[in-house]
Structure 1
């Protein structure tokens, strides 16, 4: 028999975008004990509404699954906000490079780092974000310039999670090389063998795997490309080695070692040569040692159709940022020529090929406001009004899935979160308007009215 004990919270009279398998829209949702208890029509909530139930009249507002920013540097964002790197680097071809041009004071102590994390917690809650991935913390950055990416940060996160200080579910990847810099196969192997990450904190924090920086970015001519840059160069992998072949061999052995150790692997790969080699290496590792790994390519600026086919067949995801192409396409064309734009940031082609697509912010490179990312994915329109890569536009429903249920897949938790269905965790984002009633360009101006994590309201206007 269904449980008809009173709900803790009922949201009714709006448009509940479930993001389930059929993208159904309901009128109301009930929450009990941190879980979704019922989804349906307003009258179906009456049996679950008791004297202690908080009832929120939505009056046409939209309810979405809690937003999952699947590639966001949380500690660094807390140290940088409201400054964004794209704003500072736009005039210098910066793309999504991570060298902070006006970095804050180095985070030296645990208190410094935790203040940054908690600042991000409040900020993300105000945007309706209930999950995010911290993509690269570990010993490779223990002596880094900012103090935002070292191995101590993993333990800071775990302790704050255990104390109930986080306002989002955090997934982390370990980093055994430099951020946007060199790494070596030997240091990577040593890290896999010797570094002991903190234990997971159920439902709040986990270390899922490792991140590898394979190359740089095309606008700076540091991505490894099959086609030449306008100056005749091809860039190179960031992995140490005396030749392209040796560097590629080292990258493949790193991927094999991490896969065999049971880790999820996220690879920063942007050039078409790099994305091709990474996709092939991940696919080969999965064929040799088959498991449900959820590996993925990060950024994927240049992805040839053949690479997308390999990724789809092997179940390799793509995690990219819709705001990058609308800001940097002219820089890429200047570096590689107009012909390169055919394979640039192919979000539409990736979905059509069957690749699981996650959209994210890479904040503080871009704003952590997912509404801006959603608008960019749907319109491909830059701040100057120009449309970049119109053929790669996504439908609004597709972009929403790329911020909710597909990142839940990346986290290995699509059965737990990412959609509004009975039994799943009650992570919700309430928009102060109709999601489909606003023009896409106007989405960033639609306020987030309420954010719910595990059934608890963590933000409310």
Structure 2
């Protein structure tokens, strides 16, 4: 089940602790006469879905919305006879303004963060103008999510281009900008997994996809160069030589 908790910071419609340039804090995308009613209703939607054993994907970009999602899932999980959040593999979609503490809480509960690195690359200055330079520098905590083991990368196409090579380069650049440049190979391995093995786990399908091994679906791409030789920044310029879908070659460059 997909729920829309809020919209996006760039339209001042993510529910945030820090104010926007007009003094507002955004809102929830839930019907209700008051913010308190909206908070209660969104929490109830999350609770009911969890208790029914449904996997949730919640569009949440503001830090207050993200905290509401985390708290509601934790409360639902604590109910007698309730399934675990880790088992259901709930997902926060986007999570632009998630804090390091919230990412830790997500990892403890088994909640995934499905993020889009191109958004950070393309809208950093926009967010800085709306919420200040500090807010922009503290947003899109891909490094924290990668270290916590909850980062899933996706394109949000057609909002962004679906080229995963560009996505990895953008994510790596963001991590370097926020946390230094140590461990380039370790980061690249983690980001490659964030487009392959980790999304399979998010889909609760790791037993049959996500890695190249006997018994799993043969969906893969063969690159013209070793990613670890060109590095994350060089990936967008590397050609795809071959694409295999369900065991069939569907593209050959030569």
Superposed pair shares fold, TM > 0.5 = yes
**CA contact under 8 A between 1:283 and 1:311: conserved in structure 2?**
no
Match of 1:454 in 2: 246
The gaps in structure 1 that reach 5 residues or longer are 1-209, 382-386
How far has the Cα of 1:294 moved from its partner?
A: 0.5
Match of 1:325 in 2: 120
* Runs of 4+ with >3 A deviation: none
Aligned position for 2:156: 362
CA deviation string 1:252-281 (max 9, x = no partner):
111112122221100010011111111111
Q: Is the 8 A contact 2:219 2:247 kept in 1?
A: yes
The answer to whether 1:231 aligns with 2:19 is no
Task: String of CA shifts for 1:278-327, please: whole Å, max 9, x gaps.
Answer: 11112222232123101010000101222112211110000001111111
Q: Contact 1:294–1:410 at 8 Å: present in 2 too?
A: yes
CA contact (8 A) 1:276 1:307 kept: yes
- Partner of residue 83, structure 2: 290
Q: Which is helix-richer, 1 or 2?
A: 2
For 1:101, the equivalent position in structure 2 comes to none
Tell me, yes or no, if the aligned pair for 2:114 and 2:153 is still in contact at 8 Å.
yes
State which structure, 1 or 2, has the greater radius of gyration over its C-alpha atoms.
1
Does 2:132 match 1:337? yes
Work out whether residues 51 and 83 of structure 2, in 8 Å CA contact, stay in contact via their aligned partners in 1: no
Partner in structure 1 of residue 235 of structure 2: 443
**Secondary structure at the residue paired with 1:223?**
coil
Q: In the alignment, what sits opposite 2:200?
A: 408
Q: CA deviation at 1:355?
A: 4.2
Asked if structure 2 preserves the Cα contact closer than 8 Å seen for 1:295 and 1:317, the reply is yes
Q: Can you list the C-alpha shifts for 1:408-428, whole angstroms capped at 9, x where unaligned? A: 001111121111223222222
Q: Are 2:220 and 1:418 aligned?
A: no
Does the CA contact (< 8 Å) of 2:50 and 2:83 recur in 1? no
Aligned residue for 1:50? none
In structure 2, stretches of 5+ residues that fail to align are none
> Distance between the aligned counterparts of 2:48 and 2:251, measured in 1?
42
Instruction: Quote the residue 2:219 is aligned against.
Output: 427
- Higher relative contact order, chain-length normalized (CA < 8 Å, sep 6+): 1
- Please tell me whether the aligned partners of residues 100 and 141 of structure 2 are also in contact (alpha carbons under 8 angstroms): no
Count, aligned residues = 245
Give the corresponding residue for 2:166: 372
Contact map agreement 1:286 1:314 (CA 8 A) in 2: no
Structure with the largest fraction of strand: 1
**Cα distance in 1, alignment partners of residues 229 and 242 from structure 2:** 19
Equivalent residue in structure 1 for 2:96, among 301, 312, 317: 301
Quick one: distance in 1 between partners of 2:208 and 2:48?
A: 29
What is the aligned counterpart of 2:179 among 391, 416, 423? 391
Cα distance, 1:339 vs. partner?
2.3
Q: CA offsets, 1:197-230, max 9 Å, x none?
A: xxxxxxxxxxxxx111111111211111112112
Q: In structure 2, do the counterparts of structure 1 residues 392 and 454 end up closer, same or farther at CA, with 3 Å as the change threshold?
A: farther
Do the aligned residues in 2 keep the contact of 1:283 with 1:310 (CA within 8 Å)?
Answer: no
The Cα of 1:436 is off from its aligned counterpart by 1.7
Could you report, residue by residue, the CA deviation over 1:54-74 in whole angstroms, capped at 9, with x for unpaired residues? xxxxxxxxxxxxxxxxxxxxx
Find the residue that maps to 1:380 and give its secondary structure.
helix
